[in-house]
Amino acid sequence: MKLFDVYSLYDIEPVKGKGNYVYTADGTEYLDLYGGHAVISVGHAHPHYVEAVSEQVAKLGFYSNSVENSLQVRLAEKLGKASGYDDYSLFLCNSGAEANENAIKLASFHSGKSKVLAFGKAFHGRTSGAVAATDNPKIVAPFNRTPNVEFVPLGDIEAVEAKLATEEFCAVLIEGIQGVAGIHCPTDEFLRQLREVTTKYGVSLILDEIQSGYGRTGDFYAHQHAGIRADIVTSAKGIANGFPMGAVLIAPHFEAKKGMLGTTFGGNHLACAAAIAVLDIFEQEQLVKNAREVGEYLLAELRKMPQLKEVRGRGLMIGIEIEGSASEMRLRLLKEHHIFTGGTGVSTVRLLPALTITRREADKFLEAFKNILNE
Ligand SMILES: Cc1ncc(COP(=O)(O)O)c(C=O)c1O
């Protein structure tokens, strides 16, 4: 059997990771400013993480959601405290798309309404409801197309209000920062207006913090910079540092009913041990603060480079708009300087490093990037 050929691959295979570096079999070292697509939050093979996951798998890797699991309770307590959402409830699943799927379901169950309002260029995942709320016709199969999702431009509060006034919508779904679109931040003012207008019409505000959350922007969730609270927050990616996990944070006004949501694997023992270890490391190493400081430094230094068209983002979620081709730039960074970066669109280089990145590692990237730009 061969692999279903849906990914464009670099001809490089990392077989080992340590901190902010990955290594190929011949020992070549690569600085990882991509974090496997914003997934590696506490660095590769962090000793505390390795120990916690190893100990748990040796004890009990999995049992179903039909029995008590105190690891889930511990994770909920820790996540509540770390995120400032300690009065919310937690539902655990396995991926970002699944978290959004469950968030939409909850809003729909709660209101009895079926429509979701999303934004131009949004990406929310590839399962049925999540992909319907994703503004990219190329990945929406005919089966996924539905009149239940409508789109308005990001930042257009009048367009939002006009839709919500129809009283057909159960939810507004928005990314804390649009990632796949190329790092586009909604303004704090727009997020506050969105909070007001969703409250006015009794519509659930769902914040997709799958890429922008978990400390990446220097606050636990990106929307918290605007001082608002969402009705539902979705998390995944960095939550368990590469162990598949998704989470839905749910406001107290949503009533849980037995069987309304469910999953076989979600919240399993191994995933919880991994996620608890991540939050331990966040605390011990003050990683949210580090993300803010190194992120601000990177943004400031990049904004000094006159060759760049635009530098967008917050903390360690950075989009660099260059003059030429982003894929060529990324390939040169990889092959000539041994640095992994992300990309999106034709001309945006994306930085999504682990929250453990140091200023020295940031400088290593800045120097390599400058060298290429100045050639
Ligand atoms: C904002 C956002 N939402 C949802 C998803 C989907 O997450 P997953 O691939 O874990 O299903 C992603 C993945 O890139 C994302 O960036």
**Cα gap 300→351, rounded to integer Å:** 14
Amino acid at 84: G
| Whether 236 and 301 share a structural domain | no
Cα separation, 171 vs 105, whole angstroms: 10
What per-residue confidence (pLDDT) applies to 136?
96
Do 238 and 165 share a structural domain? yes
State both tokens at 125: 């995942």
Q: Same structural domain for residues 261 and 344?
A: no
Residues 38 and 51 in one domain: no
- Rounded to two decimals, the pTM is 0.98
Query: Are residues 245 and 147 part of one domain?
Result: yes
Question: Are 353 and 271 contained in the same domain?
Answer: no
Is the same domain home to 351 and 309?
yes
- Residue 79 covered by a domain: yes
Eight-class DSSP state of 318: E
For residues 292 and 276, state if they share a domain.
no
Percentage of the chain beyond pLDDT 70 is: 100
Q: Which residue ranges in the chain fall short of pLDDT 50?
A: none
| pLDDT tens-place string over residues 191-209 | 999 999 999 999 999 999 9
CB of 97 shorter than 6 A to ligand 1: yes
104 and 187 inside one domain:
yes
Indicate which atom in ligand 1 lies nearest the CA of residue 125: 6
pLDDT for 3 equals 98
- Strand ranges, E, within the chain: 14-18, 21-24, 29-32, 89-93, 115-119, 149-152, 169-175, 204-208, 232-235, 246-250, 310-314, 317-321, 339-340, 342-344, 348-351
Predicted local confidence at residue 47, as pLDDT: 98
CB of 243 shorter than 6 A to ligand 1: no
> How many angstroms is it from 317 CA to the middle of ligand 1?
14
CB atoms within 10 A of CB 4: 6
Q: Does any ligand 1 atom lie closer than 6 A to the CB of residue 104? A: no
How close is the Cα of 179 to the center of ligand 1, in Å? 9
Phi first, then psi: what are they for 254, rounded to 5°?
A: -85, 125
103 CA to centre of ligand 1 in angstroms: 13
Ligand 1 atom having least distance to the Cα of 98: 11
Tell whether ligand 1 has an atom less than 6 A from the beta carbon of residue 179. yes
Q: Which domain holds residue 18?
A: 14-46+286-373
The CATH number assigned to the domain holding 28 equals: 3.90.1150.10
State the total domains in the chain.
Answer: 2
DSSP state of 206: E
Q: 208 alpha carbon to ligand 1 midpoint, in Å?
A: 9
Classify residue 6: in a domain, yes or no.
Answer: no
Q: Does 209 map to a domain?
A: yes
> Separation of 302 CA from ligand 1 center, angstroms?
26
The alpha carbon of 371 and the centre of ligand 1 are apart by a number of angstroms equal to 33
